[in-house]
Structures are given as C-alpha cells and as structure tokens.
Amino acid sequence: MTDSCVLAERGSDWSVDVQIGGVGDNGTWLLAGPPPKGTGETLVEHLKRLGPSDRWLSPSALRAVVRDSGLRGRGGGGFPLARKLETALLAPGEPILIVNASESEPASRKDATLCLHRPHLVLDGAAMAAAIIGSTEVVIYMHQGSTDVYGALQRALAERQAAQLADPVWRMLMGPGRYVAGEASAIANRLEGGEALPSFSPHPMAFRGPSGRPTVVNNCETVAQLALLVRMGTVAWRNGGTPSSPGPQLLTLVGAVADSEIVVEVVGSATVGQVLGHVGVCAPPGAVLVGGYAGTWLKGGLAWCTPLDRAALERVGASPGCGLVGVLPHGACGLSETAHLVSYLAGESAGQCGPCAHGLPALARHMEAIARGSYRQRSQVRLRSLGDAIFGAGACAHPDGVVRLIRSAFEAFDEDVQHHLDHRRCPGSKNPPTFFVPKPRRRS
C-alpha cells in the first residue's frame, strides 16, 4: 500500500487532519512502525519506537487515564472500558481479565492484523488492564483455527519472557471457530471448562462471571488502544478521533473494494467516503454495511457523507460495531445479499433460546423468499411481526443483530423491495454474493 493519504478536509476544527493508512504507513498511530513482514514487530523494535510501557504509572493513575480517555470497547458493543474496569473493582473476588483475539466476525481482520504485526502493543495493553483491576493472570482467547495469530502471540510472549518484563501470567485459551463463540459470556464459559456458548445472567459479567469472580472481557484492539493511550496521554490520544469516538479507529474494508479484506487505521474524523476514497473507490457505492454482518445497511449516498463517529452513525441508525465497512456495488441485489447473510447468521445460532433457534431460520426463509421473488406485501408484515417477536428475546444479542440487519435492509433497499414486488426479482439477484461467509457447519 502506498503512503497514507492526508486529506485536507477536516471534520471539525477540533480534530487533527485526517490520516488513513495500513500497517506501517505514515500518519497511523496503532499500526505505525515497521512495514508488514513475515513476523510481527519484535520487542526490541517495539520498545525502541514507543519507549517502555509506563510501568511507573500506578494502577490508580492508569485508572484515571482510562476514565478521562472515554475509551470504548472495539469488539462491537462499544461499552466504556472505564465502567467495565470500575465494576470489576467494586465487585467481590479477584477479577479475571480475558483478551478476546478470536474475531468471530467472519470478514473482520483488524484484530488479526494487530496481533500479527503489533503483538506487543496488545500485550502491553493487556498487562495494563490487568494492573488496573489487580489480576495476576491474563487469558488470551482465540479460535482454534487461527494458527497465525497463535504463532505471532507465542513468539511475542517468548520475547517478553526472555526480556524478563514485569508481566502478568499469560494463558492461551482456544475456542471453536464459530460466530457466537466470541461472545463475552461464551468465552467465560469456555474458560470454566464448559462449552463456548453464551449464557444468561442478570449480573453484568464484570460484576460476576460464570466462575463467580468478576470477569472482564476486552477486545484486543481495545487493550492495544489502552497501551497507546497511556504512552500518548489522554488529550493527544483523544484528538485521534471525535468527541463521541475518541482515539484512532481500525476498520476492515470488505466487499467490492478489493479481492480480500483491507485493514486501515483512521486517525481523525473521516467520513465513509474519505476512507473508501483511500482504497480507490471514487464514487458512492450502491450500499454500505456498517458495523459487522449483524450491522446496519446504509444507502451508498448517505453512507458516503456520514462520518465514522458514534454520534453521527447513531443519527442514521447505525453504530461503529466491530469496525467493518462492507461495500455493495451498484447493480447488486441488497435483498439477496441480506438473505445470504441472514441464512449464515441463522446457522450460527447456538440454538439455546427458543426464539433464536426457531425464529432465525424462519427469518432466513422469509428473506430468501423475498430475494427469490415469491414475495407479497403480506409477507413483509409477517416478517416484521416475526422480527418483533425475536428482538430482545434471546440471552445474548445475536438474534437482535439479525433483526436489526433485516430492518435496516428494508430501509436501505426500499427501491429493491418495490422492484421485487413489481417484477418478482431484480437482475442483480442472479450475481454471486459479494460478502464472504464461512461454509455452514453441521449441527452437532
């Protein structure tokens, strides 16, 4: 990838100039450093570039830094990190810290990119988070199949052990490579020796996890941001984003942008159009999927001028989620694409809660019927009431995400809906799907 482009447009006077770039590009913060190579950045390079991690900061000073930063979780939920850590501190028992590097979102690659190229940033941040909540052990969770991430982290851990850093005890935990296995309570259940399936609890996990101890689960980008934030200082770090989304962001661009996923870092306030412009998309696409496969569809034109900022995205009904930006080209059928994603997500249901186990396959059948063209006005009403019955009825947010995806599809593809109603199906629905989904697994 070429130099990061510096765009002159400014989101507001408050922020720094927008910088967009990949691993090792100028102007990036998290991904700054050596260009991508076979192995990740070594500990020596890491310490030379960023200096020692601020070991002299006491846990209470670190706590204050996290509180002032307004850092939110980057795994999808967007929960403020400070509130999670404070809850764990208030709760009885020694807290457990889990760093989630499993990246269950099939198209997302940002966490893998961080672990492969900047492993010490992730590990530094994990050590800091552990220091704040006073836990002596950090669990790093990943999927069984991600051998590259495992190798990179193992190598980094060996370097840290040889350098005798004052680190917590590291522990690797493997989980099955399925969508819901990356959910926080599923990880905590796996840690307890159970199956990696979500569970239902009236308490927040940070107060009381399945083991009875407070359990803090953080995405690995979140802890990497923490390591960067402590070194840069709160004010400088916040300037890398916007008031409602402080700090730089990692995004995965998928769909009609390139053959494979592109991970970019955005420093400053950039619109979706600016980010897509960086990878060579010069005009608004047909539609943009923001926030993950269970995210929100936006019309291409609307998305193009929407800043990638929590408040601005909320105004159009979306959220930054896990930082996925999916590009659907003109001429593709958004309804077929949604049907494709919904049938994947329905297959990934853990099958524990009735409304999810029965409702999601029904939703997928309805969406397929609509995409195929056997569609009546009445089925839209039925689909809507089915969505209302499912929304909020599960133990985890998986069914809610699917319902939200379908609701946003009906808004973003209102013309396609009309076309399917008039002409049974649109020409684009014969194309192969734009977004990649893993092969359906056999139900055990």
Long-range contacts from 59-65, C-beta under 8 angstroms, 24+ separation: 59/131, 59/132, 59/134, 62/128, 62/131, 62/132, 62/230, 63/89, 63/132, 65/229, 65/230, 65/234
- Residue 319: partners with Cβ closer than 8 Å, 6 or more residues away: 78, 290, 291, 295, 296, 310, 313
CB of 190 to other proteins, least distance (A): 16
State the DSSP code for 262. E
CB of 200 to other proteins, least distance (A): 5
CB of 296 to other proteins, least distance (A): 24
Cβ closest to other proteins, residue 79 vs residue 391:
391
State the DSSP code for 182. G
Sequence letter at residue 71: L
CB of 42 to other proteins, least distance (A): 45
Cβ closest to other proteins, residue 214 vs residue 359:
359
Cβ closest to other proteins, residue 96 vs residue 396:
396
Where along the sequence are the contacts to other proteins (CB under 8 A)?
198-200, 202, 352-356, 358-359, 386, 389, 393-395
Cβ closest to other proteins, residue 266 vs residue 395:
395
Q: How many helices (H) and strands (E) does the chain have?
A: 17, 11
CB of 394 to other proteins, least distance (A): 6
Cβ closest to other proteins, residue 256 vs residue 360:
360
Cβ closest to other proteins, residue 361 vs residue 438:
361
Q: Give dist(CA 262, CA 339) in Å, integer.
A: 24
Q: Nearest to residue 105, comparing CAs of 249, 257, 220, 276?
A: 220
CB of 419 to other proteins, least distance (A): 30
C-alpha radius of gyration, the chain, whole number: 22
